[in-house]
Structure 1
Amino acid sequence: MRGLLRRDDPLPEGVPEQVSFFFGGGQTCAFEGEAHAPKIQLGSGSVIPTAFIICFYGFRHDRQLRITIAPPVGRAIAKTLARGSEEGFVYRWPRLPNDPAGAYRVAAQQGSSTVTEVFTVVRPATPRLWLDKPPGQVVLGEDVHMYVAGFPPSRTVVLNLYYFHHYRTSFPVPVDARGGGRAVLRTAPGDPVACWGVSHPDLGDSTDPGGLGPTSTNVFCTTAPGG
């Protein structure tokens, strides 16, 4: 989908004029410093679709870390993380609507230290939206991938795009027989530089920016190339 960021449409009936979004950053892994034993934790949610961010604590950051991830079905993947930060290592393995739910076994090895954890990934019981976007700001010309799950199957979901907290336009996302779907928002040089939010009434996002209701993090901010 191209040109969405340049649209400014009339507000459709039943669509909130404003939605509360959180445009700030946040730490994905709650690193605890150096004085702790090696362990593995999730730095993201475990409901599909999700970024599935895995945090590795207590390992030497200046040495390679060998990790293995075994999904509930299919082949395991093995990766070598060349170097972490002083706090630890981070690995991101997005789980999308068609990926399997169930127990994911994660192992990490560095020298004689080996740690294994099992994380249960589930499908949503209610509608869910997740934005997979480049880290930091989206440079105009890059894409934002949007995934939905938990919606009524075999229908079209209409998502709403907001300029900061204010409605700008809507766009369709076809949903498959399992209630999942994907849309790609393609930005282009010359599109507005701003922060954007994506919502749907069934997500339960607050319609009172600055209020006490749930604040959505389905956001991205655009910046000009070279900016």
Structure 2
Amino acid sequence: MTDSTTHRGRPSVIIQGVRKRFTLNHALSLKDTVVAWIRRRRLSSTFDALKGVDIVIDEGESVAILGLNGSGKSTLLKLVSGVMEPDEGAVLTRGRVAGLIEVGAGFHPELSGRENVYLNAAILGMSRREIEERYDEIVAFSEIEQFIDQEVKHYSSGMFMRLAFSVAIHVEVDVLLVDEILSVGDAPFREKCRLKFEELIAAGKTLVVVSHDLDMVRELCTRGIVISKGQVVFDGDIERATELVES
């Protein structure tokens, strides 16, 4: 059940015939391996997380990738971000792409919050000049100014998430990928993040969101792509897409 979507702007993301396959290991120990060998059972099998996916996302679009757990949503986002490569097909992007997929993955626990801002921002592609220009804004958004010179290993999970998210969202990007990160944090901070997303959309940035929060994606996105068992089953209006997921 796929709507035909008309692409009027220039594409920001092109996904052509993408297939991603994972190998599943069924032997958890040496004993399992020996038993499987004796009984002539397979030690591994393959699983297609994505099967021939074709999607075009235009510059300035706000798109939600929806579906049940295990449908392939997060895998698709990781392919677009460059964290993974497809086994078949191609993924093309235009401009700078930043993925809020594993927030804080580049943070070092022994370094202070200040040092980690510079480190993580550099990993996300910001130059030192860009970091220095945005440093005060990043810290203010995180609301942990008084703890910024403490080692992050002493941060609570909420403090860590705030700082990591604040760094990521202040990167100058053309395409922003977001994977379920607003499921953590308190309500006021989530609202602040939502408003920041709206600001980026208004500035013409391309937003691709994976989330189970259907109310949020209705507010932020105009287009919904529903994936089931690794295939696109719907691509069109966000209201219709969320209805399909809810049914």
TM over 0.5: no
Bigger relative contact order, structure 1 or 2 (CA pairs below 8 A, ≥6 apart): 2
Higher strand share: 1
TM-score scaled by structure 1? 0.29
TM-score scaled by structure 2? 0.28
